[in-house]
Amino acid sequence: MTAAAGPAGSGAGGLTAEERLLRDTTREFAQREIAPTAVERDEAERFDRSIFSRMGALGLTAAPLPESLGGAGFSYLGWTLVMEELGAADMASAVTLSVHILSQLPVVSFGTVEQHADWLPPMVAGEALGAFCLTEPHAGSDAAALRTRAARLAADGQELAPDAPPDAVAAYRLHGTKIWISNAPEAERYLVFATVDASKGPKGITAFLVEKGTPGFRFGAHEKKMGIRACPAAELLFDGAVIPASRRLGAEGQGYRIALSALAEGRISIAAACVGIARSALEQAAAYLHQRTAFGAPLAELQGLRFMLAEMAREVAAARALTHEAARARDRGEPIGEASSLAKWTASDAAMKVATDAVQLFGGSGYSRGTGIERLMRDAKGAQIYEGTNQIHRLIVADAVLERARF
């Protein structure tokens, strides 16, 4: 499927030749390699590892990472173009890749030279899949309330007191549960957040690099989701998994900052994928209005339906504009907390509205699973919840607006 022309289409304004090539290459790949099996994989709730491997071969598994670490070195704006095209083809594949990148970015920013060399190469190449592990049964939107514990261990394996000096710590023993972890259990590499001292609240949260197969780390229930069903999500269970201190990412107590900085970037990525959902719904609805007739004329000639289509195009254009602005702010090195929340909140709401309207325009065909239109609506609903619920993003934006009003 080609992009619609004009504002509702590919958003070509202001793009470099390299960014346009990246967008077009990803679009061709997504429509050829991903879209044809999207409905079947959703129905079967089947994760296709070969799609991730092919994204790796194309260089997408490291698109926004620096070239010095084996990445493609594309701008973050370029990365949003990739995500829009994947979202237009299949949100499940887009989420798999977004989470994979999300789990790498903190290693790029906070990892040591040794961690860069040890952890990133197979992820960059698309040989090892990554997961970002923050959410817990009692800590969703309130990430600072997580309960997974990282006990500090001496070289002899004995547990140290919380106030023992950091240089005395040889390893950590993890106990706790994570839920709704996208890419689990398929992922090989997990960025896990746990607290070394719950009494310190966010200041006790610490990040760890954990490999699949580590003794004491196993998988629990697999989520049965309404949408995004071809991207797996599972429970992680830690029962004494020992992680060497060399696999701690950043300093003790730095994990909360690491998590929030990564999530701000990830929200832009998800916003872009939501633009893809909305664009796909708009394009398919427009084509359907041309093809279907009623009362002796194409549906496209009915003014009420034309107005619906125009409003859908407005939603797509507004969501893309906010998403690109957030990406450009990130490329400029500016704070992105408010911008990323605006983009994610707006784009996921737009995806839900446009997909719902597309189902309405398709009528009974839209409600049928055979067309794939209802899948867009189910996928969009998930995007309003994960990466921070849209209610949380309203709070983030309101806090920023009120803070500026102080001066």
Q: Are 202 and 184 in contact (CB under 8 A)?
A: no
Helices in 144-254 by DSSP H: which ranges? Answer: none
Q: What is the DSSP letter of 159?
A: B
User: Quick one: which of 222, 232, 228 has its CA closest to 186?
Assistant: 232
Q: b/e for 390-403, b at 16 or more Cβ within 10 A?
A: bebbeebbeebeee
Q: What angle do CA 332, 343, 316 make, to 5 degrees?
A: 115
User: Quick one: which of 124, 109, 155, 146 has its CA closest to 258?
Assistant: 109
Helices in 121-239 by DSSP H: which ranges? Answer: 121-124
Q: Is 387 a catalytic residue?
A: yes
* Identified catalytic residue from 252, 334, 387, 403: 387
State the DSSP string of 252-292: TT-HHHHHHHHHHHHHHHHHHHHHHHHHHHHHHHHHHHHH-
Query: Within 10 Å of residue 138's Cβ, how many Cβ atoms?
Result: 11
Q: Are 247 and 210 in contact (CB under 8 A)?
A: yes
Distances (CA, A) of 174 to 109, 187, 198: 24, 19, 13
User: Quick one: which of 58, 96, 65 has its CA closest to 79?
Assistant: 65
Distances (CA, A) of 70 to 75, 97, 141, 210: 15, 17, 33, 21
User: Quick one: which of 178, 182, 177, 275 has its CA closest to 227?
Assistant: 182
Residues 142 and 99: their CA atoms lie apart, in Å, by 20
Query: Within 10 Å of residue 137's Cβ, how many Cβ atoms?
Result: 13
**What residues are annotated to the active site?**
387
